[in-house]
Amino acid sequence: MSFDVKNIRKQFPILDTKIGKYPLIYFDNGATSQKPQAVIDCIQTYYTSENSNIHRGVHHLSQVATENYEHARKTIQTYINAKNDYEIIFSQGTTHGINLVASSFGKLLKAGDEILISQMEHHSNIVPWQMLAEERGLVLKYIPMNQAGELIMAELPNLLTTKTKLVSVTHISNALGTINPIAEIIQAAHKIGAKVLIDGAQSLQHEQIDVQALDCDFLVFSGHKVFGPTGVGVLYGKEELLNAMPPYQGGGDMIKTVTLEKTTYNGLPHKFEAGTPNIIGGIGFGKAIAWLEEQDLEGIKKHETDLLVHATEKLSEIDGIQFYGTAEKKGSTISFLIEGTHPYDIGTLLNQQGIAVRTGHHCTQPIMDFYQIPGTIRASFSFYNTKEEIDQFIIALKKAITMLS
Amino acid sequence: MSITEKENELVESFAIYDDWMEKYEYIIELGKDLPLIDAAHKKEENIIKGCQSTVWLYAEKKDEKIIFTADADAIIAKGIIAVLVDVLSNETSDTILEAKLDFIKEIGLQEHLSPTRSNGLVAMVKQMKMYALALKMK
């Protein structure tokens, strides 16, 4: 089906919302995406006629729920082209996936080993490594970035050493929109034997990733940013790595046998899925991916690029605007400040005009420190946004600036 | 003027404007009348935690009355703290501690601030009452 924004918008009922007398203009897609009717219906159907616990019951409902949950795993496997469905571990989200790797892969590391992150990571790809480094005496290094918000790749060879065990970097920066050269990073890391985790929280909603072609060792992402429900995500890991890692949490579903003295663990993926999971989360996430696959992905990508170009052009005409993140390769996210105004004031007055943007440090304080600013205003677009919405946003922004000056 | 009278006056002033953009323009205007905090008190310990912008608040006691001064780096935050200072400044500790501040709801300030900012408003009120309590002992 060729891309048609009007048709797409019809599938997202929330887009008809009014904020006061203004139609909602939702430009906070970096924080979370809206949900298509297909996903909303799927959640409703599950609770109306399929709700049951999975992997346990012999009864009909439990079998239906189990089948749907495992089908979702396969849908996601196919979408990211993982070799096996059991390499798809359902998590609670990106943050949880990173913490799982830090905790379990981390147990394989010893004092003096090095972990390499970047200067533009979300706090969730910084703090777990800092905690692990402190606990196990590891060295945490970072790839610096330049003023445009691009990683300084020339530094990479100096930062990768024989002690580097893991490189954990974001594919697309949530605060700046920068698309990082992850294929290049993976290649360089593998040359010295380091494993690579890709934070895909901001990328899978915009482009498809082939984990085998990319050859990343881990990929983490969240359901709610890819048109699925909140509270669910995926950790992809290569089979051999996941097998080598000890379990994360103990409980039901992750065991093979338990006596009061000793437990033997279940195989993948269950080893990392202790307890009753977020069943509807997983099923809804699978539905969201299946829905996405039916869309014209090339058309989506082109439309999002058009939105980015249009918004950048229009915003550039505003006096006193300063962009943060001007990388050559960017996703559909724009971070900016207006000279002489506070992002909080702009965000408040945009909200009064029905426009949802994010203001603040976007959980990336090291980026804000780098630019020596307290935060930015961030407009992040999805394919259901339109050029007309951007034009409305520019009018509202100008009105806010007038009121504040 | 009692706290209730001051609150009523504010509710009436805000009622003049139908549109929330106009109400915000009024809030911005009120911010311009805020009794500014002395530069010497504009330090880390007087920053109200929980606001998205930086808000400084200071209080001192004069003839049994609490006098508030403040400032903020964001104009709307400055207007909001100005509204609170307008109502609560120059009152006794007891009056401040007992104040229910129903006007916030009546104006609709709370619902028109997103949760984080509403937390900011709550944090402002809490800090003012903390000052009142601390200065009561002095």
Task: Specify whether the CB–CB gap between A19 and A354 falls below 8 A.
Answer: yes
Query: Parallel, antiparallel, or unpaired for β A195-199 and A218-222?
Result: parallel
User: What is the CATH architecture of A5-31+296-404?
Assistant: Alpha-Beta Complex (3.90)
Predicted confidence at residue A265, as pLDDT, reads: 87
Residue A327 DSSP symbol: -
Residue pLDDT, tens place only, A95-140: 999 999 999 999 999 999 999 999 999 999 999 999 999 999 999 9
Asked if A348 is an interface residue toward chain B (Cβ–Cβ < 8 A), one would say yes
Q: Which uninterrupted H or E stretch holds A288?
A: helix A279-294
Q: Which uninterrupted H or E stretch holds A170?
A: strand A164-170
Predicted confidence at residue A329, as pLDDT, reads: 97
Structural Rg of chain A based on CA atoms? 22
How far, in whole angstroms, is CA A244 from its chain's centroid?
A: 25
Predicted confidence at residue A331, as pLDDT, reads: 96
Mean of all residue pLDDT scores within chain A: 96
Predicted confidence at residue A193, as pLDDT, reads: 97
Residue pLDDT, tens place only, A63-103: 999 999 999 999 999 999 999 999 999 999 999 999 999 99
* B21 contacts A344? CB cut-off 8 A: no
Residue in B24, B73, B74 nearest the CB of A352: B24
Closest-CA distance, B75 to chain A, in angstroms, reads 6
Residues of A in contact with B76 (CB under 8 A): 344-345, 348-349
Specify the CATH number for A40-293; select among 3.30.420.270, 1.10.1040.10, 3.40.640.10, 3.40.50.720: 3.40.640.10
Averaged pLDDT for residues A361-379: 95
Averaged pLDDT for residues A305-331: 98
Residue pLDDT, tens place only, A9-37: 999 999 999 998 999 999 999 999 999 99
Q: Which residue of A has its CA nearest to B115?
A: A348
Averaged pLDDT for residues A325-349: 95
Return the amino acid letter for B19: D
Predicted confidence at residue A186, as pLDDT, reads: 98
Predicted confidence at residue A1, as pLDDT, reads: 63
Q: Where are the domains of chain B?
A: 3-137
The larger pLDDT score, comparing residue A253 to residue A158, is at A158
The phi-psi region of residue A354 (left if phi > 0; otherwise alpha if psi is between -120 and 50; otherwise beta) is: left
ipTM field: 0.87
User: What is the CATH architecture of B3-137?
Assistant: Alpha-Beta Complex (3.90)
Q: What percent of chain A has pLDDT over 70?
A: 100
pLDDT along chain B (138 residues), means of 10: 93 92 94 95 89 89 96 92 95 95 86 59 90 90
Residues of B in contact with A375 (CB under 8 A): 52
How far, in whole angstroms, is CA A207 from its chain's centroid?
A: 12
Q: Which uninterrupted H or E stretch holds A333?
A: strand A333-338
**A48 CB-contact burial (10 Å; exposed 0-12 / middle 13-18 / buried 19+):** exposed
Q: Which residue of A has its CA nearest to B20?
A: A352
Winning range, highest mean pLDDT, from A49-63, A242-256, A318-332: A318-332
Q: Is the pLDDT of residue A262 over 70?
A: yes
Q: Which of A68-72, A213-217, A326-330, B102-106 has the lowest mean pLDDT?
A: B102-106
* A342 contacts B74? CB cut-off 8 A: yes
Averaged pLDDT for residues A227-246: 98
Q: Where are the domains of chain A?
A: 5-31+296-404, 40-293
Predicted confidence at residue B114, as pLDDT, reads: 52
